[in-house]
Chain A
Amino acid sequence: MSAVTIARPQELAIPAPARMSLLLLAPGLLILLSIFALPLLGLVLESLKQYVPGRVGSAVDASLTLENYRELATPSFAGVLYETFKLSAAASLAGLMAAFPLAYCIVRRFSPRQRAACIGLLVMLVLLSMLVRTYALELAFGSVGIARPLLLALGISPTSRGYIEVLVEAGLLHAVMPICTLTLLGTIQNIDPRLCDAAQSLGAPAWKAHLGITVPLALPGLVSAFLIAMTFAISAFVIPMVLGKGRVLFLSNTIYTRFSDVANYPSGAAVSIAMLVISLLVLSLASLAHRGKGARS
């Protein structure tokens, strides 16, 4: 029998598998476009509009201006920016340093039951309402909280700015630690425990082995966890609002103030866009550094 070439099925304009995929994507894409992408675009536009005091929002036919962005180049805005980043970075770092040993113990030291209990606790914390966690901290350590007598006895004024900053940090830490720990579990699981064993059989004490092997190998995961924590902390709203008592303001609180107190939508929009751009910059800078180390992201 002579070889027969297989006749290929008629090629459709879009082959069937791709058509099905696009059909399945359609509702999601519709939602993304209509209530995510378009509103963000609208926000950009709004930030370029002129704000007329006394009006709610901007006039429909207002001219385009960069005034709102120029307003951001003020010390007060820079102060808020600095405050946000300072506290976020500190909380993220602290959270990471606390999460890493905890994650390590869960993976390497705990029995299966202890592991399940701990993971259960962490997941519960992640699912638990941020509002609950924030007010819990306020009730425990806040200025009218039950720790008040103790603080006064130690000479700490619970209403001082310094203490309020610490409280906001604590709030961020409380939120960031469970997420970081859970993220790092995967990282540590991927590190072969026998590497540390090898180091120790070659003479290194445990702490040196970990410093020289576990930590460097976990670095990509640590960077990722840090990014996740930073992203969360920078955009925190409830924590600074409740615990900051108006003394500590984050970027998100500024946006809300512009919106609710002053009805200066264009300015609020401008701060929003600025905040978004800054967040994206931080993310891409860090993941570039991450990738630059030769690690897979």
Chain B
Amino acid sequence: MSNAVEFHGIRRRFGAVAAVDDVSFSIAAGETVALLGPSGCGKTTILRIIAGFERPDHGMVSIGGRDVTALKPYERNVGLLFQHYALFPHMTVAENIAYGLRHRGTDKREIPDRVEEMLALVRLQGFGSRRPQQLSGGQQQRVALARALATRPGLVLLDEPLSALDAKLRQDLRAELKQVLAAVNSTAMVVTHDQEEAMSLGERVFLMQSGRIVQTGSPSEVYGCPGSRFAADFMGRANWIEARVTRRETGLAQAVSRSGLSLTVPHCDAEAIDICVRPENIVLSAADTSGPDGMVNSASGRILNVALLGATRQILVETSGGDQLLVMQANRVGDGLDPGKAVTIGFPVDACITLPAGNQAAASTSL
């Protein structure tokens, strides 16, 4: 299979620490993947190995069918969008973009056209003679992207592309980034600690922890079916209920939680289980109205507090059994859901993610 990138059996130690511990993956041509994990998980080391700044102790890297493991950065054709752009301050925007073209032997006469092409791609026509210092953060990022893509690299690496921008700009540039990458049909890998960035940009997500890839899949797969407590917590907010299985049926299990709640959940082999429910999947209504219909799992409780986040709100509910659950829903004004109010909460079976109890994996810092 001609994959654009093959990363096989890579190991890298720094002293006694295994920064990358037997990692393998492949990326298909034209695909955009996200390498996601907390700081210190080894994703930056992998990025530097692919770019050529680090040598792995073991393993093989191939790009476009070519074994590049022993090659210097300038002998590979990898595009790299640095986290803080690393634009050359003493050169103009056009000279920055042309740098790669010049050093990879492009015909001199073709360079100006190619530079113009790239400027048009990132919607910065006419900015060619400006200096990086004269540009805003978002504009600098677009120049850095143009520079990385100018030489038609076999793989584009994006190092935390949206982290240096403020929240509003982040959303705008996210869409633009996707559009540009699609337009040039390049193979790309986004390296990030931000799961929003990973899920929105990547067609596939590789979740990393302590030097290993612990889960691979589409964003919805990794979000909806996390394979470990770490994965569940890292990909988004999660409510956890510890329970014991009382009865098994086909594909389902009956469990009783510590707080005495009776729940129907997807099947799990273990006796002691942790049940994860995402806040957006819990339905909540005032106790005096008709309860959530058709919800197999339900409980009564009291609102502890309400946090208004703009378009959404987060409501912390304490059930009669003592569980504290976070509910997230669209913000609806004036429906009287205030602290202290008695409510009923409910969630369907497929909103539950069951994992064997104590499946902590390594202790992870939630970000």
Stretch at the interface among B53-61, B197-205, B298-306, B349-357: B53-61
A18 at the interface (CB under 8 A from B): no
Contact indicator B58/A1 (Cβ below 8 Å): no
Complex CA gap A5/B69 in Å reads 10
- Nearest-neighbour CB distance to chain B for A148, whole angstroms, equals 55
Q: How many residues of B are in contact with the other chain, CB < 8 A?
A: 10
Complex CA gap A55/B158 in Å reads 77
Contact indicator B56/A6 (Cβ below 8 Å): yes
Contact indicator B56/A1 (Cβ below 8 Å): no
B84 at the interface (CB under 8 A from A): no
Q: How many residues of A are in contact with the other chain, CB < 8 A?
A: 7
Indicate with 1 or 0, residue by residue over A1-45, a CB within 8 angstroms of chain B CB atoms.
101111101000000000000000000000000000000000000
Residues of B within 8 Å of A3, CB to CB, are 8-9, 58-60
Contact indicator B8/A5 (Cβ below 8 Å): no
Complex CA gap A9/B8 in Å reads 20
Complex CA gap A136/B90 in Å reads 42
Complex CA gap A4/B8 in Å reads 9
- Nearest-neighbour CB distance to chain B for A146, whole angstroms, equals 50
Residues of A within 8 Å of B70, CB to CB, are 6-7, 9
Residues of A within 8 Å of B56, CB to CB, are 6
Residues of B within 8 Å of A5, CB to CB, are 58
Complex CA gap A1/B60 in Å reads 10
Residues of B within 8 Å of A1, CB to CB, are 8-9, 60
Indicate with 1 or 0, residue by residue over A70-109, a CB within 8 angstroms of chain B CB atoms.
0000000000000000000000000000000000000000
Complex CA gap A6/B62 in Å reads 13
Residues of A within 8 Å of B59, CB to CB, are 3-4, 6
Residues of B within 8 Å of A6, CB to CB, are 55-60, 69-70
In the complex, the chain B residue whose C-beta lies closest to that of A6 is: B69
In the complex, the chain A residue whose C-beta lies closest to that of B59 is: A3
Complex CA gap A6/B57 in Å reads 7
Residues of B within 8 Å of A7, CB to CB, are 70
In the complex, the chain A residue whose C-beta lies closest to that of B9 is: A3
Residues of B within 8 Å of A9, CB to CB, are 70
- Nearest-neighbour CB distance to chain A for B223, whole angstroms, equals 31
In the complex, the chain B residue whose C-beta lies closest to that of A2 is: B9
Residues of A within 8 Å of B55, CB to CB, are 6
- Nearest-neighbour CB distance to chain A for B49, whole angstroms, equals 11
In the complex, the chain B residue whose C-beta lies closest to that of A4 is: B60
In the complex, the chain A residue whose C-beta lies closest to that of B67 is: A4
- Nearest-neighbour CB distance to chain A for B66, whole angstroms, equals 15
Complex CA gap A9/B71 in Å reads 11
Indicate with 1 or 0, residue by residue over B39-61, a CB within 8 angstroms of chain A CB atoms.
00000000000000001111110
Residues of A within 8 Å of B60, CB to CB, are 1, 3-4, 6
- Nearest-neighbour CB distance to chain B for A225, whole angstroms, equals 32
Complex CA gap A206/B69 in Å reads 62
Indicate with 1 or 0, residue by residue over B1-19, a CB within 8 angstroms of chain A CB atoms.
0000000110000000000
- Nearest-neighbour CB distance to chain A for B46, whole angstroms, equals 16
Complex CA gap A7/B69 in Å reads 10
Residues of B within 8 Å of A4, CB to CB, are 9, 58-60
Please report which residues of chain B, range 171-213, place their CB below 8 angstroms from some CB of chain A when the two chains form the complex: none
- Nearest-neighbour CB distance to chain A for B155, whole angstroms, equals 19
Residues of A within 8 Å of B8, CB to CB, are 1, 3
Complex CA gap A62/B177 in Å reads 83
- Nearest-neighbour CB distance to chain B for A10, whole angstroms, equals 12
Complex CA gap A89/B76 in Å reads 61
Residues of A within 8 Å of B58, CB to CB, are 3-6
- Nearest-neighbour CB distance to chain B for A5, whole angstroms, equals 6
In the complex, the chain A residue whose C-beta lies closest to that of B56 is: A6
In the complex, the chain B residue whose C-beta lies closest to that of A5 is: B58
Complex CA gap A5/B9 in Å reads 10
- Nearest-neighbour CB distance to chain B for A286, whole angstroms, equals 37
- Nearest-neighbour CB distance to chain B for A4, whole angstroms, equals 5
Please report which residues of chain B, range 304-340, place their CB below 8 angstroms from some CB of chain A when the two chains form the complex: none
Complex CA gap A254/B306 in Å reads 85
Complex CA gap A286/B112 in Å reads 60
In the complex, the chain B residue whose C-beta lies closest to that of A8 is: B55
Please report which residues of chain B, range 262-278, place their CB below 8 angstroms from some CB of chain A when the two chains form the complex: none
Indicate with 1 or 0, residue by residue over A105-141, a CB within 8 angstroms of chain B CB atoms.
0000000000000000000000000000000000000
- Nearest-neighbour CB distance to chain B for A1, whole angstroms, equals 6
Complex CA gap A6/B8 in Å reads 12
In the complex, the chain A residue whose C-beta lies closest to that of B8 is: A1
Give the interface of A toward B (CB within 8 A).
1, 3-7, 9
The 4 closest A-B pairs by CB, nearest first: A3-B9, A4-B60, A3-B58, A6-B69
- A-B contacts, 23 of them at CB < 8 A, read A1-B8, A1-B9, A1-B60, A3-B8, A3-B9, A3-B58, A3-B59, A3-B60, A4-B9, A4-B58, A4-B59, A4-B60, A5-B58, A6-B55, A6-B56, A6-B57, A6-B58, A6-B59, A6-B60, A6-B69, A6-B70, A7-B70, A9-B70
Further 13 A-B residue pairs, CB within 8 A, beyond A3-B8, A4-B9, A6-B55: A1-B60, A3-B9, A3-B58, A3-B59, A3-B60, A4-B58, A4-B59, A5-B58, A6-B56, A6-B57, A6-B59, A6-B70, A7-B70
